[in-house]
Structure 1
Amino acid sequence: MYPTLSKKKATCIRQLALKKYRLEQAAFVLEGKKSIQALLSARYAIKCIVGTSSFFVANQDIVASIRKETEVFETKKEVLSGLGSFVHNHEVLAVAAIPSATEPSISPVDITLALDGIQDPGNLGTIIRIADWYGIATILCSQTTVELYNPKVLQASMGSFAKVNLHYVDLPRYLEGLKLPILGATLDGQPVHDFAFPGHGVLVIGNESHGIQPAVKAILTEAIAIPRYGQANSLNAATATAILCDNWKRFCCPASGR
């Protein structure tokens, strides 16, 4: 039905597993049916889609959604599994253009997340998914936060990367210019169970090992903490984000969930 993927094109796709080539080509790879479905309904320009003939036959809804400017190639599942980062992907992958950076849009009536040096790709992907779940439209990332288009970040986001806006900024400088409440997750902050959350503002989540950097901590209007009842030294960054977002949303809009 579609032309066979060439060796030259396959080499270009494999290179995108490395950040160096993602930056050079301004493109990234996304793998798996659900992720491709999210991509097709999002703002991303899709350069090409590569799948097995059986995938295209069984997924006519996806075929119908492919834009005219997108190249489509067939290949064998053995070749497909070697193109991306996940050997279990035997169905489909896409190469999409990395969009140009835009200015963040900060909501004056809701929560914005700020990530200060999150390093683990799984954490970032999960936090993006959490933001999507709680209706948080914007995430600010420090320049030391792991790259959005890292394959493990995209995989962990489960398609939510296409519905949440991420912006990499000079975090201390950017936060300093906001006239909003800025809350930071710390081990010695006010317990969230007794905290009167504002109706809007920024929630800062720090690095997995070192927490929030001093330059950002100096800008916080409030430090908040999740009460500890056991002996663990800390919580996973994504887990802490979910708990804090849940407490903030329950306090400010308890009847709006579905």
Structure 2
Amino acid sequence: MISKNQLKLIHSLEQKKQRKKSGLFLVQGEKNVGELFNSDFEIVNIFATTEYINKYAASLSAQQLVSLTVESTVEELQKAGTLKTNNSVIAIVKSKAYEAPTINNDELILVLDQVGDPGNLGTIIRVADWYGIKHIICSTDCADLYNPKVIAATMGSFVRVQVSHTDLCEYLSSQDKPVYGAFLEGKNLHKSQLPNSAFIVMGSESHGISEGVSAFITDKITIPNFGQAESLNVAMATGIILDNFMR
């Protein structure tokens, strides 16, 4: 069963301050925890139902996690976690701090400016993984990668996409590749010649790309609309833009 101290730790990791202080974060649900087994993330503890432990006995043994696994009831996991469903397992994992990377000649890097919604960030990470994007650079006021809602929305893609938080103006000022930005007044994406190597900047739905970051945009692009909707969700827009670049 989950002890009072363990429950207290799990609940504390819902807060950014405590995640940063402890260097730990939560991974919940069968899919997300399963992705950890094939990654280099270090698992500190696993809390799981008897059914989960039996189902993944071979993986737990191969990863030397048996001694770190605490058998728990569904009720305990529901009380401990943040998910309303898929409550068979919760893992406490050591977080990583990624440095902002140097872009390769055949690489696309996503840059996110002021994307504060955890669900949007998590979905963008999942979309990036689908299109083979390995790096996402976030402004310091973006949602925290290790927010439980972000991790849940990635559906396991957080183990393959490296997300770093940094000062975007400072970072972009040292780059020599084209910087594409999504703007309502940009050039039609369908009619643009898109390179194999570039930075793609996406802003928040409410504020767009900030004035400071806009100064580093070399090419403004827009997704042409054919209907009456005022805007697109930033995660959806990211997927459409990446699809056009990958063509």
Partner of 1:55: 52
Q: Which amino acid aligns with 1:25?
A: S
Supply the distance in 2 between the matched residues of 1:101 and 1:70 (Cα, whole angstroms). 29
Structure-2 residue corresponding to 1:180: 177
Does the residue aligned with 1:17 lie in a helix, a strand or coil?
coil
CA distance in 2 between counterparts of 1:89 and 1:7 reads 22
Query: Is 2:75 aligned against 1:78?
Result: yes
| 1:216 shift after superposition | 0.9
Q: Residue 256 of structure 1 corresponds to which residue in structure 2?
A: none
Contact kept? 1:124, 1:146, Cα under 8 Å: yes
1:134 is displaced (CA, Å) by 0.5
Equivalent of 2:84 in 79, 87, 91: 87
Say if 1:34 and 1:159, in contact at 8 Å, map to a contact too. yes
Deviation at 1:70, TM superposition (A): 6.5
Q: Distance in 1 between matches of 2:118 and 2:156?
A: 14
Separation in 1, partners of 2:99, 2:187:
34
Does structure 2 retain, via aligned residues, the 8 Å contact 1:17–1:84? Answer: no
Instruction: String of CA shifts for 1:92-118, please: whole Å, max 9, x gaps.
Output: 110001123434242221210000010
**Matched ranges for 1:7-46 at <5 A:** 7-46=4-43
One-letter amino acid matched to 1:82 = K
Aligned partner (choices 134, 159, 177) of residue 137 of structure 1? 134
Does residue 107 in structure 1 map to residue 75 in structure 2? no
Larger displacement relative to structure 2 (182-191 or 63-72): 63-72
What is the rounded CA distance, in whole Å, between the counterparts of 1:195 and 1:225 in structure 2? 10
Partners of 1:23 and 1:84 in 2: CA distance:
19
Q: TM-score, normalised by structure 2?
A: 0.95
* Alignment deviations for residues 36-78 of structure 1 (CA, whole Å, 9 cap, x no partner): 1111211211111110122211222432343359721111110
CA distance in 2, matches of 1:93, 1:49: 6
Q: Secondary structure at the match of 1:82?
A: helix
For 1:94, the aligned partner's letter is: A
Q: What runs of 5+ residues in structure 2 fail to find an aligned partner?
A: none
| Cα root mean square deviation, aligned | 1.5
CA 68–76 in structure 1, closer or farther in 2 if over 3 Å, else same: closer
Quick check: 1:121 aligned with 2:118? yes
Quote the offset at 1:83 in angstroms: 0.9
Deviations 1:206-246 (A, max 9, x none): 01101000111111110000001111111110011000000
CA separation in 1, counterparts of 2:59 and 2:33? Answer: 8
**CA–CA distance in structure 2, aligned partners of residues 175 and 74 of structure 1:** 48
Report % sequence identity: 38
Distance 1:224 1:70 in 2: 53
C-alpha separation between the residues in 2 aligned to 1:131 and 1:70?
35
Give SS of 1:93's match. strand
Deviation for aligned residue 1:131:
0.6
In the alignment, what sits opposite 2:191? 194
1:208 maps onto 2:205 in alignment: yes
What is aligned with 2:244? 247
